[in-house]
Amino acid sequence: MAHMEFIDLQTQYRHMRDPMNRAIQTVLDSSRYINGPQVKELEDALAQFVGCTHAVGCSSGTDALLGILMALGVGPGDEVITTPFTFIATAETIALTKAKPVFVDVEPDTLNLDPTLIEAAITPRTKGIMPVSIFGQCADYDAINTIAEQHGLWVVEDGCQSFGASYKGKRSCNLTLAAATSFFPAKPLGCYGDGGMTFTNDAQLAQQLKVIREHGQIAQYQHARLGINGRLDTLQAAILLAKLPFFADEITARQQVAARYAERLAGKVRIPTIRPENISVFAQYTVRVASRDQVRATLAAAGIPTAVHYPIPLHHQTVFADLNHSKEAFPHATLAATEVISLPMHPYLTIEQQDAVTEALLNALP
Ligand SMILES: *Cc1c(COP(=O)(O)O)cnc(C)c1O
């Protein structure tokens, strides 16, 4: 069999090569590399896509999260509730503001933040809740927003894996006070470098987000507050605009790939649980197996690329050692980290490739 990619960005590029090359050429010809018109055009298109009023392009998903926390005034002495089962950036940005990330365990099946455990973690210092829509499936935002309202907290969705997903018919990134997504190349909607975006229906918050991404600047060389260099490149905005017409079909293709995996693997490995109110974009198709590392090595030998999202839960990470969590804390996140394995997942995965993946996986099981 030909070489298989975990996420095949080459095939995707070939599929949209002409409009993509034109979009890039237009930026090169304009030489408006910073704050070119494509940035605003993309913001308007994606705000409309998710159904919210304001979108602010950012240099990465991480800077999008950081910008929101800065705009909300999070700082020393504050606590933000989040999940220990995520990419480091979620809790990293909380810690960068000098606030404390407070972990709450995940649901054992979806691996999203468990709403029933949130209340016990709320203290007088808690300012908000930052759930992650892990692997492309939204957390239970109705339940989480209700708890937040009762305690006067905000909710910010880390939608870095879930752009294009929906929850009860509403799009990810329009379910909470504000949300961040990432356009890292491997994400469901990826650019050709780093990029991200924030979303909100709050005009004042959106204004702050714009000021923060330009060094706190309110007029040229007038700096009203601390900010960052957090803009989205014009080139990346143009690349995303070129990808957007293909995105709906890609989301559908992701559902089909996931359905084929589920059909072949159900009952043999633990397949993802998708709640009936959710449409996942399957940023990852992550199954769970015993002897994960051995299964992964056998798959690698058979030419099947896999990944582990994530091998170390955040409460075991050295950078968060000062939070003093026991190794046994957050048992669902801790167990998941030993069992998860992500299979090749992208809209251009062929049936033949999927056959090869599932056959190799079933052979590799202990
Ligand atoms: C990818 C990701 C981020 C960070 O996005 P970048 O664009 O790489 O900075 C944050 N949170 C989660 C859950 C992610 O998957």
Q: Could you read off the pLDDT of 191-220 as tens digits, one per residue?
A: 999 999 999 999 999 999 999 999 999 999
Residue 256 in this model has a pLDDT that exceeds 90 = yes
Do 138 and 209 lie in a common domain?
A: yes
Nearest CA to ligand 1 atom 6: 61
Amino acid at 100: K
With a 6 Å cutoff on the Cβ, whether 188 touches ligand 1 is no
pLDDT for the residue 110: 98
Nearest-atom number in ligand 1 for the CA of 86 is: 13
Structural domain boundaries enclosing 356 = 247-364
- Do residues 236 and 252 both lie within one domain? no
Residue 1 has pLDDT above 80, yes or no: no
pLDDT digits (tens, 9 = 90+) for 62-88: 999 999 999 999 999 999 999 999 999
How far apart are the CA of 87 and the centre of ligand 1, in A? 6
Is residue 288 one of the residues assigned to a domain?
yes
Q: Among residues 189, 205, 240, which one ends one of the domains?
A: 240
Q: What is the Cα–Cα distance from 81 to 128, expressed in whole angstroms?
A: 6
Note whether 183 and 259 are same-domain residues: no
Same domain, yes or no: 231 and 340 = no
What is the distance in A from the centroid of ligand 1 to the CA of 182?
Answer: 6
How far is the centre of ligand 1, averaged over its atoms, from the C-alpha of 29 (Å)? 31
Nearest to 318 by CA among 13, 160, 92, 16: 92
Please provide the average confidence, as pLDDT, over all residues in the chain. 97
Q: State how many domains the chain has.
A: 2
Ligand 1 test: best mutation among 7, 58, 62, most atoms within 8 Å of CB? 62
* End-to-end C-alpha distance for the chain, whole angstroms: 24
* 53 and 136 share one domain: yes
Going from the C-alpha of 273 to that of each of 109, 285, 294, 296, 312, the distances in angstroms are 6, 11, 24, 21, 21
CB of 26 shorter than 6 A to ligand 1: no
Q: Taking 90 as the threshold, does the pLDDT of residue 283 lie above it?
A: yes
Q: What is the mean pLDDT of residues 263-277?
A: 98
At 329-338, the pLDDT tens digits run: 999 999 999 9
The verdict on the CB of residue 158 being under 6 Å from ligand 1 is yes
With bands split at pLDDT 50, 70 and 90, how would you rate the model's confidence at 2? confident
User: Are residues 113 and 184 part of one domain?
Assistant: yes
- Is the model's pLDDT at 240 over the cut of 70? yes
pLDDT at 366: 86
Within a domain: residue 360? yes
The verdict on 174 and 56 lying in the same domain is yes
Which residue pairs from 87-90 have beta carbons closer than 8 angstroms and sit at least 24 positions apart in sequence?
Answer: 87/132, 87/160, 87/309, 87/310, 88/314, 88/317, 88/319, 89/61, 89/62, 89/65, 89/158, 89/160, 90/65, 90/130, 90/132, 90/158, 90/314
- Position 316 in a domain: yes
- Shared domain for 236 and 259, answered yes or no, is no
Q: 257 and 147, same structural domain?
A: no
Inter-helix orientation angle 89-96/61-71, to 10°: 40
| Distance from residue 65's CA to the centre of ligand 1 (Å) | 9
Q: Do residue 332 and residue 229 come from a single domain?
A: no
From residue 181, alpha-carbon distances to 47, 55, 84, 223, 271 in Å are 12, 10, 19, 26, 25
Last residue in a domain, options 194, 211, 240: 240
- Provide the CATH number for the domain around residue 305: 3.90.1150.10
CATH number at residue 219: 3.40.640.10
Residue 262 within a domain: yes
Inter-residue contact 16 to 243 (CB < 8 Å): yes
Pocket-testing residue among 112, 182, 198, ligand 1, by greatest number of atoms within 8 A of Cβ: 182
Q: What is the mean pLDDT of residues 98-114?
A: 98
60 lines ligand 1 (CB under 6 A): yes
Rg (CA), the chain: 20
pTM attached to this predicted model: 0.98
Whether ligand 1 lies within 6 angstroms of the CB of 62 is answered as yes
Q: Is 306 a pocket residue for ligand 1 (Cβ < 6 Å)?
A: no
* 45 inside domain: yes
Of 240, 259, 288, the position where a domain reaches its end is: 240
Is the CB of residue 59 below 6 angstroms from any atom belonging to ligand 1?
no
Of 68, 161, 232, the one to substitute when testing ligand 1's pocket (max ligand atoms within 8 A of C-beta) is 161
Residues 172, 94, single domain; the answer is yes
**pLDDT, average across residues 288-299:** 97
CA of 190 to the centre of ligand 1 (A): 11
DSSP 59: S
Residue 2 domain flag: no
Q: Is residue 200 part of a domain?
A: yes
In a domain, 165, yes or no: yes
